[in-house]
Amino acid sequence: MDIKDKKILIVGLGVVGGSYAMALTAAGYKNIYAVNRSQASVDKALKAGVIKGGGTQLEEFASDADIAVIAVYPTGAEECARKLGAVMKKGSLITDVLGIKRYYSEKISAVLPEYIDYVPAHPMAGREKRGLDYASADVLKGANFIITPISRSSSAGIEAVKTLALDMGFGKIRTLTPEEHDRIIAYTSQLPHALAVSLINSDEEDSETGDYIGDSFRDLTRIAEINADLWQELFIGNRENLLAAIDMFTAQLSAIRAAVAENDKESLIKQFEKSSARRHSLIKK
């Protein structure tokens, strides 16, 4: 059976789950279903034509699904997997969109029967807003996609998840261990969110800063308008890696502070030149 003919169940119609549904349907996938806590979101998706069917009861749609995508918050993923594992058929595939991997991949794997394939993944795309109203296939276009296979992940399952990602329009697809993923993501995703929140909150609340901001402030603080419930789970769930990233950043900021305090122009220039070259090499890849 062609993968576009398989029944794909998306559990969670938030920004990422909804964007998956939109992108897969636009790519010609014929059997996209969804389960969500709110029937209203399911009804919106049905009306928009981005899913073929759906509802609020997972068991109703999971028993004959070929592929299931867990697109819920991390702390709800284990229970979601438990319910899927109890009803999904032999040879089916489960993947996810969780932003931290090692801890939750172990939890999910532990509640799944061996006859169900499991390939964890992390789409590096999303928005600060929450809910289906902010979902869009465009948010996935060209974004990075990380697959974090574990020992039970089959080669066929990994290839299926790669195919889904390519068909949805993702750009670079990389494979990492869950441990590598969590270490890197602490720096590339979680630390920037921590910095944006800290920058916004470091201002005097009764000031009129908004009258004087420019593009640099807008760019740096865009992600400070944050989904608090989700991101506290991501921060705490990747605690050790995030703390290490914060410590490294703090050391760099302290070096800049020292150079300013000591009127050390040469040190500042070296740090600026290093950052310019480093960013150019990262973004160019």
- pLDDT tens for each residue of 170-190: 999 999 999 999 999 999 999
Sign of CA dihedral 126, 38, 42, 90: positive
pLDDT tens across 224-241, in order?
988 899 999 999 999 999
Q: Tell me, rounded to whole angstroms, the distance of Cα 105 from its chain centroid.
A: 14
| Beta-sheet pairing, 121-123 with 145-147 | antiparallel
Burial group, residue 86, by CB count within 10 angstroms (0-12, 13-18, 19+): middle
Q: Would you tell me the crossing angle of helices 265-284 and 239-261 to the nearest 10 degrees?
A: 140
Quick: pLDDT tens for 120-152: 999 998 766 677 878 899 999 999 999 999 999
Q: How confident is the model at residue 285 (pLDDT cuts 50, 70, 90)?
A: low
Q: 67-70 and 93-96: which strand pairing?
A: parallel
Say which DSSP state 52 is in: S
- 24 burial via Cβ count (<10 Å: 0-12, 13-18, 19+): buried
CATH superfamily of 3-176: NAD(P)-binding Rossmann-like Domain (3.40.50.720)
Computed over every residue of the chain, the mean pLDDT equals 93
Q: Which residue has the higher pLDDT, 64 or 204?
A: 64
Tell me the mean pLDDT in the region 90-109.
96
Task: Check residue 203 and give its pLDDT.
Answer: 83
Q: What angle do CA 222, 130, 21 make, to 5 degrees?
A: 115
Dump pLDDT digits (tens) for 37-65. Answer: 989 999 999 999 999 999 999 999 999 99
Domain 180-284 fold: 6-phosphogluconate dehydrogenase C-terminal fold (1.10.3660)
- Residue 122 pairs in a beta bridge with 146
Residue of 83, 165, 65, 59 whose CA lies nearest to 120: 165
Domain 3-176 identical in fold to domain 180-284: no
Domain ranges of the chain: 3-176, 180-284
pLDDT of residue 166: 97
User: Which range (25-34, 79-88, 218-227, 240-249) has the least confidence?
Assistant: 218-227
Pairing of the two strands 173-175 and 145-147: parallel
b/e per residue 108-117 (b: at least 16 CB within 10 A): bbebbeeebb
The answer to whether residues 63 and 9 touch, using CB atoms and an 8 Å cutoff, is no
The mean per-residue pLDDT over the stretch 272-283 comes to 91
Beta strands in 88-232 (DSSP E): 93-96, 117-119, 121-123, 145-147, 173-175
Confidence bin at 206 (pLDDT 50/70/90): low
For residues 172 and 3, what is the distance between their CA atoms, to the nearest angstrom? Answer: 21
Q: How far apart are CA 136 and CA 18, in angstroms?
A: 7
